[in-house]
Amino acid sequence: MNGPYILVDISRIAREHDFSTHPRVILLNLLLLSLAGQMLMDEKLGHGELNFCIKGYG
């Protein structure tokens, strides 16, 4: 499950990036994200100004 590793990266970016000037894009399209990983991210990140879209190959 890649969810915990993605959360660590998002946490680092949140500390280092100034979102008041412009948004930040995190490309997740090359990572496998299981349903459990998606649920973990939803649980930890909640809903708000963060959006993530998961698309498959092809």
Q: Give residue-wise pLDDT tens across range 15-54.
A: 888 888 887 777 766 677 788 888 888 888 776 666 666 6
5 has a pLDDT exceeding 80: yes
For position 34, what pLDDT does the model report? 82
For position 51, what pLDDT does the model report? 61
**Which is higher by pLDDT, 23 or 8?**
8
Q: Is there a contact between 31 and 2 (Cβ–Cβ < 8 Å)? A: yes
Q: Which residues contact 1 (CB under 8 A, 6 or more apart)?
A: 34, 36, 37, 40
14 has a pLDDT exceeding 70: yes
Q: Which residues contact 54 (CB under 8 A, 6 or more apart)?
A: 28, 33, 38
